[in-house]
Amino acid sequence: QLNIGVLAVQGDFAEHSHVLRSVGVTATEVRLPKHLDGLDGLIIPGGESTTLSRLMSLYDLRDPVAELAARGQAVWGTCAGMIMLANEITEEDPVPMGLMDVGVQRNAFGRQVDSFEQNLLIQGLGDREYHAIFIRAPVITRVGDAVDVLASLPDGRPVAVQQGKMMATSFHPELTADARIHRYFVSLAGGPPFDPEAPLIDTPRV
């Protein structure tokens, strides 16, 4: 069985693990570098990126996560996790890992009360719209040549991108009962090919 790690130092890692298990893969909580051994991919969850950044430094997780990505393994950052993957952010804090060639602006929609939900069409996921939840979300401000935009807001700003086997989403797919993006990521990590025609396997909330 495929084994996907979920960085579990801060943020909503439990929800990601729950969805991963519901689509038939092993979910391993990663708190220390040794927990990265033998993984097929890694999810960096949403939360608070300055805290996430500090804890990743404190537990010496930055280099081994970068090495995992450099080896070509699948890595996906959601929300604060997306901020950590960027190579450029508009704020001074946190210091991102620079694994994806994207620019990111934190808190791009305002304060916590300005969180919102938006239906999106996501490239590769089929014709059914995806209900995306944005919580004090970042937005992608620059997309490098090697990066594909998978989804954008109605105003054109990208909110889901892929670069090789790396993915970043502004929103929180682990909070909705639609596991398509997790299944897509599992396919990038070496699991069964994603079939957009397959019936949705809806996951209950944690």
| Structure token digits, residue 145 | 């040549």
Closest approach of Cβ 192 to ligand GLN, in Å? 29
Q: 135 labelled as ligand-binding?
A: yes
The CA distances from residue 13 to 33, 47, 78, 115, 151, in Å, are 16, 9, 10, 20, 23
Q: Is 18 a catalytic residue?
A: no
Strands 130-134 and 116-120: antiparallel
Q: Is 79 a catalytic residue?
A: yes
Residues 8, 13: Cα–Cα separation, whole Å = 5
Q: Is 175 an interacting residue with respect to ligand GLN (CB under 6 A)?
A: no
Pick the binder of ligand GLN from 136, 180, 182, 183 (CB under 6 A): 136
Report the 10 Å Cβ neighbour count for 164: 14
Q: Which of 140, 132, 122, 101 is nearest to 194 (CA)?
A: 122
Q: 92 labelled as ligand-binding?
A: no
Site string for ligand GLN, 39-58 (x = CB under 6 A): -------xxxx---------
Q: Is 88 a catalytic residue?
A: no
Q: 115 labelled as ligand-binding?
A: no
Residue whose entry in the numeric block shows the structure tokens 């704020």: 91
Closest approach of Cβ 195 to ligand GLN, in Å? 29
Pick the binder of ligand GLN from 79, 85, 108, 175 (CB under 6 A): 79
Q: Is 80 an interacting residue with respect to ligand GLN (CB under 6 A)?
A: yes
Residues 96, 109: Cα–Cα separation, whole Å = 20
Q: Is 107 an interacting residue with respect to ligand GLN (CB under 6 A)?
A: yes
Helix axes 49-58, 62-70, angle to 10 degrees: 90
Q: 124 labelled as ligand-binding?
A: no
Q: Which of 73, 6, 78 is nearest to 35 (CA)?
A: 6
Q: 133 labelled as ligand-binding?
A: no
Instruction: Kindly indicate which of the ranges 15-23, 61-69, 76-84, 174-182 contains the residues binding ligand GLN, using the contact rule CB under 6 A.
Output: 76-84
Which positions make up the binding site? 47-49, 106, 135-136
Catalytic residues: 79, 172, 174
Binding site for ligand GLN (CB under 6 A): 46-49, 79-80, 83, 106-107, 135-136, 138
